[in-house]
C-alpha cells in the first residue's frame, strides 16, 4: 500500500475540531472558525480555475521537483511533489480492462488478491457495434474500474488504422476507416474521463505493425497522414477532450514518434491545440535533446532493471531525469520549455488526482458484466447465414449440439501483450452454449485441433491444462464421428493471443487460419449440413471453405462475458447487428499493403548503412481498406460495413433537402428504413460520399456518416444525415489545408461498402 504524504499546506483548513490530552483524558476543543478560502494555497483550492492553480503550483516548485514529475519512478508511476502535497500519477494498461498490479520495478505480479477485473470486449468488437452509445457505456464502465483501483490514467483507447491484416495488434484498435474510428473514440474518452480518470489515446502515430516496431521509419505523404492516420487522434483531442496522448515506438521523418517535432509540436500541440500531457510508450525514448525540445512531457519505461549505469535508482538516468537536469543547470536547456511540460503534468493531476469531485468508481460490478455482455453481443457480426441456419432453435428440432475447437475452451483474456488481464471470471464459448440450452439440448465437445495449450503472461496463469498428445488425424476423426450424430455443429476457432497471431510485438505470418483448422472445417462441412463457424479473432482470416459452410459468425475477443455474448447471438436472444470495421480479403495479395509484393511497402527494408533502421513506404497512400477494394474493383471476401441480421430491412429512396450546397452551408439527406421481417432488430445505415470530378485522385467513395437504428417488425424510421463542406474535403498537402472543390457529389446510402441501396446527387457551389 502506498504511504500518504501530508504537508502543512494540504492539511490547512481541513481540521476544524481537535482534541487535547489532559490528566483526565480527551476533551473537545471549542470549534474553530472555518479557514477562509483566501488562506488556502491557490493550487489546493479546487474552486479556482485550473490554469490559476497550475501557475500557483508551478511557482512553488524547485527545478529538481519540476524535472522529477516529467519521468517515472517505477514501472507505472511518476512522482508528484511530496513537499507540496501534490500526488503521484499512476498509469494502468488498458484498453480492455485494468491490468493487475506488478512489482514496483519489475513486470512480475505483485501478488495482490484484489486486483482482478472485468475484461471488456476488444476494441475491434466495440468498433463493430457502430454504436456511439455503446462506446460511451464502455468508457464509463472501464473508467469506473480504473477509478476504484485509484488509477490516474488508462493507457487506451487505441486508434491506429488497420493497414494490414497481419498487424498483431489490430485487435486493440478500431478498424480501417478514420471516420468510424473518430466517431467511436470520442464517447469512449468522454466516458472514461467522466470518472476523473484520464484516457491516454494511443499510439500516436503511424504505429500500424508490430514487426520491427522500434526501428521502422514510416515514409508517407502529408495527404495520407492527414486523411487516414490522424483523424481519430484529432477527434479524441478536439471533440473528446483527451487529457493524455501516448506517442508511438516507430519512426517518422527519421525521428522517433515519442520525440517527433512534426507530430507532437507542429500538429498535436500546434494545429490541434492539445493542452494535455504527451506520454511516451514504455521504452520509446532514445535520447535527451529531442526528448527535451520536441514535445514529450512524461517518460516511462526507458531503463527499468534498476541496474543500468550502476546506479541505485535507474529512473534517475532516464533521458528526462538527471541528463535533463544537468542540461538545465549548465544552461543548455530552457526552463521555459520545462515549465510547459510541468504545466501539462499539473493540469493532468488537477483534472484527476486533485479533483475532489471524482466519483469513487466500482470494480467487477454486475453492471460492468452486463455492459461487457451487451457490447460483446452487439459487436458480433453475422457474416453468412445460408438457409437461415441461425438462430438455433433447440425447442424445435435441435436436441444434440456438437461444439468443436480449442477456442471454445481456451481463456482469451490472458496474453496478447500489454492488454493481458487477470479477470475475476471468463465465460468460455462452450460454457455459454451449455448454459443457454441447459435442460433443453445435449451439448458434447470435441477438441478438433491443438493450438497453443499454454496460458500464462507476466505471471498471470489461466490454470487450464489444454495439453493433448493426439495426432491431428485422430482429433479430426473424433470430431467427424461426433458430427454425424449431431443436429448442429458449432466450430469455434480462429486466432489466439500467442506470438505471431493477435499479439503485441509480433505480426502474423499469413492470412490463413493456424493449427490446421481449415482441414477440420472442411471435414465437418462434409458431414454436417448445419455447420456454424465462429471465428474468434481481432483480424481478418482467409476462408477457403466459405462456400461449404452455411453460417459464419465473427466473434472477436469479447472478454469476461464471451461465452454468454456468443450464445446470445447463436440462439437468438440477441439479433445480431454488428458490422465489420475492416475488410476481409479473399487472399493477402488483395489487400493494399501487400498487393505489390514489395517489401518496401511491408514490412520495410534495411537502409544498408549498418543501422538497424528500416524504411517503409506507404505507397498505397490514401487507398486503405475499402477505398482500395472499391477503386481497384477487387471483390472482398466480406466488405467493410458488412453484417447480416435475423430480420430483413428495406431501404427507401434517398432524398436531399436541396440540390446545391454553399461552402458555408449544409444539406440533409434522408431515407426511410423499414423492418420487413418478424423480429426486432437494428440496422447500421451508412453514408458514403463520391466526388464525381476532382483535380486530385480520390477514392470511389468514403464513409462520412452512419446511424444505428432499432426497428420493431413492420416499423419504419427516417434516417437523416447532415452534409457540410467538411464531408466533401480532401487535404491539399501543398497548401496544407482542407479543400472542397466545387462540383457534383453523390451521397450513397448503404448497408455495407459493397451494398449501396440508394444514391442522390447534389452540387457544391
pLDDT at 36: 54
User: What pLDDT, in 10s, does the model give residues 222-241?
Assistant: 999 999 999 999 999 999 99
pLDDT at 32: 45
Q: Which of 123, 183, 129 is nearest to 576 (CA)?
A: 129
- CA distance to 72, 87, 241, 682, per residue, from 280 (Å): 10, 20, 19, 40
Two domains, one topology: 8-351 and 644-764: no
pTM assigned to the model: 0.94
pLDDT at 2: 36
Share of the chain above pLDDT 70, in %: 93
Angle between helices 132-148 and 178-193 (to 10 degrees): 40
Assess contact for 66 and 39: CB atoms under 8 A. Answer: no
User: What pLDDT, in 10s, does the model give residues 620-668?
Assistant: 999 999 999 999 999 999 999 999 999 999 999 999 999 999 989 999 9
Mean pLDDT value of segment 731-744? 97
Would you identify the CATH topology of the domain 8-351? Answer: TIM Barrel (3.20.20)
User: What pLDDT, in 10s, does the model give residues 544-582?
Assistant: 999 999 999 999 999 999 999 999 999 999 999 999 999
Q: Which CATH number fits domain 644-764: 3.50.50.60, 1.20.1510.10, 3.30.2270.10, 2.60.40.10?
A: 2.60.40.10
Strand partners, 460: 457
Q: Which of 138-142, 164-168, 396-400 has the lowest mean pLDDT?
A: 396-400
Assign 313 a pLDDT band (cuts: 50, 70, 90).
Answer: low
3-state secondary structure 2-65: CCCCCCHHHHCCCCCCCEEEECCEEEECCCCCCCCHHHCCHHHCCCCCHHHHHHHHHHHCCHHH
The active-site residue out of 177, 281, 502, 518 is 281
How high is the mean pLDDT of the chain?
A: 93
CATH superfamily of 376-574: Glycoside hydrolase family 3 C-terminal domain (3.40.50.1700)
Mean pLDDT value of segment 61-72? 98
Annotation says 281 is catalytic: yes
The whole-angstrom separation of Cα 181 and Cα 508 is 23
Q: Which of 12-26, 66-80, 177-191, 394-408 has the lowest mean pLDDT?
A: 12-26
Mean pLDDT value of segment 725-731? 97
pLDDT at 39: 74
SS3 at position 208 = coil
Q: So where are the chain's domains?
A: 8-351, 376-574, 644-764
Amino acid at each position: 500500500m502506498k504511504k500518504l504524504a501530508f504537508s502543512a499546506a494540504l492539511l490547512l483548513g481541513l481540521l476544524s475540531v481537535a482534541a487535547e490530552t489532559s490528566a483526565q483524558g480527551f476533551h473537545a476543543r471549542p470549534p474553530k472558525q472555518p479557514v477562509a478560502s483566501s488562506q488556502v494555497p491557490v493550487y489546493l483550492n479546487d474552486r479556482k480555475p485550473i490554469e490559476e492553480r497550475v501557475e500557483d503550483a508551478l511557482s512553488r516548485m524547485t527545478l529538481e521537483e519540476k524535472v522529477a514529475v516529467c519521468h517515472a519512478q517505477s514501472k507505472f508511476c511518476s512522482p508528484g511533489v511530496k513537499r507540496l502535497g501534490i500526488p503521484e500519477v499512476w498509469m494502468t494498461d488498458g484498453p480492455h480492462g485494468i491490468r493487475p498490479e506488478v512489482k514496483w520495478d519489475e513486470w512480475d505480479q505483485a501478488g495482490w488478491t484484489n486486483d482482478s477485473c472485468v475484461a471488456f470486449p476488444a476494441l475491434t468488437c466495440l468498433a463493430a457495434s457502430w454504436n456511439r452509445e455503446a462506446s460511451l457505456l464502455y468508457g464509463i464502465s472501464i473508467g469506473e474500474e480504473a477509478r476504484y483501483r485509484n488509477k490516474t490514467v488508462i493507457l487506451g483507447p487505441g486508434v491506429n488504422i488497420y493497414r494490414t491484416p497481419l498487424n498483431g495488434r489490430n485487435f486493440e484498435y478500431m478498424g480501417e476507416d478514420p471516420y468510424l474510428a473518430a466517431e467511436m473514440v470520442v464517447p469512449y474518452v468522454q466516458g472514461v474521463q467522466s470518472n476523473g480518470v484520464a484516457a491516454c489515446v494511443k499510439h500516436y502515430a503511424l504505429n500500424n505493425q508490430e514487426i520491427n516496431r522500434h526501428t521502422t521509419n514510416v515514409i508517407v505523404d502529408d495527404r495520407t497522414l492527414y486523411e487516414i492516420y490522424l483523424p481519430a487522434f484529432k477527434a479524441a483531442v478536439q471533440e473528446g477532450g483527451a487529457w493524455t496522448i501516448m506517442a508511438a515506438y516507430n519512426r517518422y521523418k527519421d525521428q522517433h514518434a515519442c520525440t517527433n517535432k512534426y507530430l507532437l509540436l507542429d500538429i498535436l500541440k500546434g494545429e490541434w491545440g492539445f493542452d494535455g500531457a504527451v506520454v511516451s510508450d514504455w521504452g520509446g525514448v532514445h535520447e535527451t535533446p529531442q526528448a527535451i525540445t520536441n514535445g514529450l512531457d512524461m517518460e516511462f519505461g526507458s531503463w527499468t532493471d534498476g541496474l543500468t549505469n550502476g546506479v541505485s535508482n535507474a529512473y534517475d538516468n532516464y533521458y528526462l531525469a538527471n541528463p535533463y537536469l544537468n542540461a538545465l543547470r549548465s544552461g543548455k536547456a530552457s526552463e521555459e520549455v520545462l515549465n510547459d511540460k510541468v504545466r501539462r503534468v499539473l493540469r493532468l493531476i488537477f483534472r484527476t488526482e486533485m479533483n475532489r469531485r471524482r466519483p469513487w468508481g466500482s470494480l467487477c460490478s454486475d453492471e460492468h458484466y452486463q455492459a461487457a455482455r451487451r457490447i460483446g453481443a452487439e459487436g458480433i457480426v453475422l457474416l453468412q447465414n445460408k438457409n437461415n441456419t441461425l438462430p438455433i432453435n433447440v425447442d424445435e428440432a435441435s436436441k444434440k449440439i456438437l461444439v468443436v475447437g480449442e477456442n471454445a475452451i481456451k481463456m482469451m483474456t490472458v496474453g496478447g501483450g500489454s492488454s493481458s488481464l487477470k479477470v475475476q471470471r471468463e465465460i468460455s464459448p462452450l460454457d455459454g452454449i451449455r448454459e443457454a440450452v441447459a435442460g433443453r439440448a445435449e451439448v458434447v465437445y470435441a477438441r478438433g485441433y491443438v493450438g497453443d495449450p499454454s496460458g500464462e503472461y507476466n505471471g498471470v496463469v489461466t490454470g487450464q491444462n489444454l495439453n493433448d498428445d493426439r495426432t491431428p488425424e485422430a482429433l479430426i476423426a473424433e470430431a467427424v464421428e461426433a458430427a454425424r450424430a449431431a443436429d448442429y455443429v458449432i466450430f469455434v476457432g480462429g486466432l489466439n493471443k500467442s506470438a505471431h497471431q493477435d499479439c503485441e510485438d509480433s505480426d502474423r505470418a499469413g492470412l490463413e487460419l493456424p493449427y490446421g483448422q481449415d482441414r477440420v472445417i472442411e471435414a465437418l462441412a462434409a458431414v454436417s449440413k448445419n455447420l456454424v463457424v465462429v471465428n474468434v479473432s481481432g483480424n481478418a482470416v482467409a476462408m477457403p471453405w466459405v462456400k461449404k459452410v452455411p453460417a459464419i459468425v465473427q466473434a472477436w475477443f469479447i472478454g469476461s462475458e464471451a461465452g454468454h455474448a456468443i450464445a446470445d447471438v447463436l440462439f437468438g436472444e440477441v439479433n445480431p447487428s454488428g458490422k465489420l470495421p475492416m475488410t476481409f480479403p479473399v487472399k493477402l495479395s488483395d489487400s493494399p499493403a501487400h498487393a505489390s509484393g514489395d517489401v518496401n511497402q511491408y514490412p520495410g527494408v534495411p537502409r544498408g548503412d549498418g543501422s538497424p533502421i528500416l524504411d517503409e513506404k506507404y505507397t498505397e497512400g490514401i487507398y486503405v481498406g475499402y477505398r482500395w477494394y472499391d477503386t481497384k474493383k477487387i471483390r472482398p471476401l466480406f466488405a467493410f460495413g458488412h453484417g447480416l441480421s435475423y430480420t430483413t430491412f428495406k431501404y427507401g429512396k434517398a432524398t436531399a433537402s436541396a440540390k446545391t450546397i454553399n461552402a458555408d452551408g449544409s444539406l440533409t439527406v434522408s431515407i426511410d428504413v423499414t423492418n420487413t421481417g418478424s423480429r426486432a432488430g437494428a440496422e447500421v445505415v451508412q453514408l458514403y460520399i463520391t466526388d464525381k470530378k476532382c483535380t486530385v485522385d480520390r477514392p470511389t467513395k468514403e464513409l462520412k456518416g452512419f446511424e444505428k437504428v432499432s426497428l420493431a417488425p413492420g416499423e419504419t424510421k427516417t434516417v437523416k444525415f447532415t452534409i457540410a463542406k467538411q464531408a466533401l474535403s480532401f487535404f491539399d498537402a501543398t497548401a496544407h489545408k482542407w479543400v472542397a472543390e466545387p462540383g457534383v457529389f453523390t451521397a450513397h446510402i448503404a448497408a455495407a461498402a459493397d451494398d449501396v441501396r440508394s444514391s442522390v446527387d447534389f452540387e457544391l457551389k
